[in-house]
Amino acid sequence: MAEEGRVKASIEAIEYHGADSILECRVGDQSLQVRVEGIRRLNRGDTVGLTWAPSAVHVFDEAGGHRVERTALAV
């Protein structure tokens, strides 16, 4: 973890989409994409601390690439 409550991630790429930017990040051996508002002054290789609302998470099956429904994730 980076700061308390934040997950430390390394930026691998940034895509600008007008009002939003997509950060392609790496956390350990896992990759993830993060949508953020606006243009961020970040560079490839920068380390950031990520937080998110649980309702904003979308998980996909690694083998088939299909979205895993939230009910399947319940513990």
Domain ranges of the chain: 7-73
Instruction: State residue 73's pLDDT score.
Output: 52
pLDDT tens-place string over residues 18-72: 899 999 999 999 999 999 998 888 999 999 999 888 787 888 888 888 888 766 5
Where do runs of H (alpha helix) occur along the chain? 70-73
Q: What is the DSSP string of 19-34?
A: TEEEEEEEETTEEEEE
Which CATH number does 7-73 carry?
2.40.50.140
Higher per-residue pLDDT: 13 or 5? 13
Residue 1 has pLDDT above 60, yes or no: no
Residue 10 has pLDDT above 70, yes or no: yes
Can you give the pTM of this predicted structure? 0.67
